[in-house]
Amino acid sequence: MKFHIITYGCQMNKSDSERIAGLLRELGWEEASGAETADLIILNTCSVRQSAENRVFGEVNNLVELKKTNPRLVVAITGCMPGRDKNNQMRKKLPGADLFFPIIDVIHLPEMLQALGVVLPQKNLPQDYLDFAPQYTNNFQAFIPIQTGCNNFCTYCVVPYSRGRERNRSVKSIVEEVKKLAEKGYLEITLLGQTINNYQAPDPENFSSLNPFKNHFAALLWELNQIEGIKWIHYTAADPQYMSDEVIATLILPKQVNYLHLPVQAGSNAVLAKMNRKYTRENYLEIITKIKKTRPGIALGTDIIVGFPGETAEDFTQTADLFRQADFDISYNAKYSPRSGTPAFKMADDVLLEEKERRWWVLQNLMEEIVLRKNQIFSNQEIEVLVEKCNNGLCSGHNNEMKFVQLNGDETLVGKIVKMKVDEAGMWVLRGKLVI
């Protein structure tokens, strides 16, 4: 029996797909070369925008056609769409799908397949899908989910509905997984969670007695920093309200990358309040000041929504002003789009699309100006680079500030941290030569 997984959306979904693939391999299934040769197709869906959901409706209709040539084909839909489909409206639009379940229920996939007549071996599986042994996508970098779901209910966001309330993975399971990765030679890990810096260990007794931190997320980072072999650790996404002094102090632990992603979403207190973000622009800027003091030169990333309901020209000016003050290296800017089932869906979407576009471009131009200036610091410098790919003598990867780099080299460099001399520091790429 063969499976094929189609993944939409964010890193959390990619990580979930790795765990689903691990579960299916444990059950004796093999990965198919594509949808046409699979007996089970799983669509791991994303609900962040309507367009992402529309793509799934289209894709399922195409896949169902494959049942004509393979009558035993099972089409399963998981991820964010089933979780938020409280009134069955989406399910009704997908009659060709055999299974439709939120990601949290993936632990019941074996029973669901058996109910459809698929014969499976009996296995003792973990009770939490985050504990499934994943099928990693490469042998030097790995996603480590430490938390899923969210209790924050930002008014624009579907996550508390699609993924449910916050659940945290045990310290024991996380540390065991990272130790195994280190033994296999993995160099870089990315910890994943919706409000990751609010991680609450279900088993704090498993923190070492030498651990100096009380805050659970800080303590977890300390534990992972002790694991020999792992070189670079980063995480996403932190929430400003949980950026405590202890968490800020971990930025200088030896393996933490020189980058922090800290979504701000808006720079106006009126808009932040409407978004139900639980900090003010003043709190945010104060945190940024502490971060820069703790780790001078750290690269900063953020997420911003422009054109949120009721966002005035003055509100947006405050966002642009905060952007300048924080001096972000990168910002993932989105034009607000209403999502059904969220509190913001009931607010008037009153900023015209042209105005959203205009605000988006203001931030984009600002970001390009800042990042180009900041990247100049790397000109003629020797930097460390984790090489991810090489093709025809050109390799690419990223540096410790998570900036995209290109250098000369061959396949033997893939999965290694090497030194590169920067010849050209552009806006979105640092180009240079391998230092031997």
The residue (of 137 and 151) whose beta carbon lies closer to ligand SF4 is 151
The residue (of 74 and 344) whose beta carbon lies closer to ligand SF4 is 344
Q: Please select the residue that binds ligand SF4; options are 150, 334, 367, 430, rule is CB under 6 A.
A: 150
194 near ligand SF4 (CB under 6 A): yes
294 near ligand SF4 (CB under 6 A): no
Question: Which of these ranges, 127-135, 151-159, 223-231, 387-395, lies near ligand SF4 under the rule CB under 6 A?
Answer: 151-159
The residue (of 50 and 139) whose beta carbon lies closer to ligand SF4 is 50
Least distance to ligand SF4, CB of residue 136, Å: 24
**Pairing of the two strands 74-79 and 40-45:** parallel
Tracing tokens 């089409």 back to the chain, one arrives at: 75
The residue (of 24 and 157) whose beta carbon lies closer to ligand SF4 is 157
The residue (of 82 and 110) whose beta carbon lies closer to ligand SF4 is 82
195 near ligand SF4 (CB under 6 A): yes
The residue (of 79 and 160) whose beta carbon lies closer to ligand SF4 is 160
Least distance to ligand SF4, CB of residue 281, Å: 17
187 near ligand SF4 (CB under 6 A): no
**Pairing of the two strands 404-408 and 430-435:** parallel
152 near ligand SF4 (CB under 6 A): yes
Least distance to ligand SF4, CB of residue 309, Å: 16
Q: What's the CA gap between 411 and 404, in Å, rounded?
A: 18
Question: Which of these ranges, 113-121, 133-141, 147-155, 289-297, lies near ligand SF4 under the rule CB under 6 A?
Answer: 147-155
Q: Please select the residue that binds ligand SF4; options are 154, 260, 271, 304, rule is CB under 6 A.
A: 154
Phi, psi of 269, deg, nearest 5: -65, -35
The residue (of 154 and 291) whose beta carbon lies closer to ligand SF4 is 154
Question: Which of these ranges, 20-28, 153-161, 384-392, 421-429, lies near ligand SF4 under the rule CB under 6 A?
Answer: 153-161
Pattern 156-175, ligand SF4, x by CB under 6 A: -x-xx---------------
Phi, psi of 49, deg, nearest 5: -135, 155
Question: Which of these ranges, 108-116, 145-153, 211-219, 312-320, lies near ligand SF4 under the rule CB under 6 A?
Answer: 145-153
Question: Which of these ranges, 4-12, 152-160, 250-258, 361-369, lies near ligand SF4 under the rule CB under 6 A?
Answer: 152-160
Pattern 213-252, ligand SF4, x by CB under 6 A: --------------------------x-------------
Site for ligand SF4 in 251-290 (CB under 6 A): none
Contact residues: ligand SF4, CB under 6 A: 150, 152-154, 157, 159-160, 194-195, 239
